[in-house]
Amino acid sequence: MTTNNQGVSTRELALMILLEIERGEKSHIVLRQVLEKYQYLSKQDRAFLTRLAEGTTERRIELDYIINQFSKVKTEKMKPVIRNILRCAVYQIKYMDQVPDSAACNEAVNLAIRKGFKNLRGFVNGVLRNIARNIDKIAYPENTEEFLSVKYSMPQWIIRMWMRDYGEGKTKEILEGFYKERATTIRINGNATTKEELIRELTGEGIQIKEHPLLASALLISGYDYLAAIPAFREGKFQVQDAASIMVAEQAGIKEGDYILDVCAAPGGKALHAAQILNGTGMVEARDLTEMKVELIRENISRMGFENIRAVQQDATCFDTNSEEKADVLIADLPCSGLGVLAKKTDLKYKMNPEMETEVAALQREILDTVCRYVKPEGTLMYSTCTVSRTENEENAGWFAEKHPEFDLEWEKQIFPSDITDGFYIAKFIRRGR
């Protein structure tokens, strides 16, 4: 077990992250905060910690299913520390071939003792060694819905929804898409560098680069340690942004001199992309609900160095009379269930439920109903979400087109999660001229 100079092991840090997630903190934020706090961890330790924390969270349903077959005390009845120690160890046994089973078991026992559960070391040891001996003999449910739920650690209500909307074959493809190994997608800031220059610079830093198969303006990078440590990132030569998200501004038909309004902009990727396309002309107003989110947009504006973009705090559900019919392009990337980005936000699937999805779909309609009035005649409204849900996507687009006949649905696309893109939906509406 690797222990850093403060005496905290990578497995102990992973446990700390998992406990924070169980308390309701967001997985990607907790992991980022820990990596920032322990920046002196080696690249190997950071990779191990990231995989263990993300993987254990991502596979939680399956891990609990396995543990419950070998433990008289079911996971929901266990103390949180013990439950997460077991989950971590079972993840290593099943999914981390480079970790010997004996090491996973021994380190789990040591961690239990270190956390004050010396009396449970025999229980932890017995359960894990039994699982390690039988890991290849686990019997999974025969019912298709239950099998997919356990195998891919996806709540059954989501499986049920996708099977209803897309069929069994497409549902399996979606589920497999989340588990594909993926590089980081970056969008090149063509105002600060060229693709060739950026490739040379990043390659010189030892970063692996591939051309993105869908977009000329994007690259796939991997093998880097820490994003903020890359000079080209700090200098605003690229923005981390998923390919599907990049498509929003690319499909919007933005022209130099346009006024762009992004009503739910944080952290600012689409708004910054729009500012780049404007090439120093026009103006982008990037809005969001809270000062914290607006500050996040401002940080990215500062790093990227654009002057034709401003960040403003504004509630998208409240009509702004000063913006009526002002926008050439309105970007409405609205709050959603997030079921397209589960590969990055691994805990989101456990927090969402059918009632919350219904509420968020209603919120999307409320916002669309409000912000559509900001679009000029012959202007464009780009509606997008980072989810895979007919309720929030095609049905809401259909509802909007029916309620607002002054808008024509010109184009829509549901993008499913894969190794090169998140799950995402985009609908392009054009407002008719008078």
Q: What letters, b where the CB count within 10 A reaches 16 and e where it falls short, cover 288-316? A: bbeeebbebbbebbebbebebbbbeebeb
Which of 293, 387, 394 shows the shortest CA–CA distance to 344? 387
Report the DSSP beta bridge partners of residue 327: 375
Please report, for residues 90, 100, 150, 322, 396, the alpha-carbon distance to residue 97 in angstroms, rounded to integers and kept in the order given: 12, 7, 21, 60, 45
The answer to whether residue 386 is catalytic is: yes
Q: Which of 105, 264, 336, 386 is catalytic?
A: 386
Strand order, beta sheet including 424-431: 309-313, 283-288, 259-262, 327-333, 375-385, 424-431, 407-415
Contact present, 299 and 214 (Cβ < 8 Å): no
**What is the C-alpha separation between 275 and 243, in angstroms, rounded?**
17
Contacts 24+ apart (CB under 8 A), 109-116: 110/1, 111/9, 111/11, 111/12, 111/15, 111/85, 112/81, 112/82, 112/85, 114/12, 115/15, 115/81, 115/85
Strand order, beta sheet including 208-211: 208-211, 218-222, 184-188, 238-240
Q: What are phi and psi of 199, to 5 degrees?
A: -60, -45
**What is the C-alpha separation between 256 and 259, in angstroms, rounded?**
9
Report the DSSP beta bridge partners of residue 427: 383, 412
Q: What are phi and psi of 232, to 5 degrees?
A: -65, -30
Q: Which residues contact 166 (CB under 8 A, 6 or more apart)?
A: 174
**What is the C-alpha separation between 129 and 100, in angstroms, rounded?**
12
Neighbours of 140 (CB within 10 A): 14
Contact present, 297 and 267 (Cβ < 8 Å): yes
Give the torsion sign (CA, 106, 111, 114, 119).
negative
Catalytically active residues, by annotation = 386
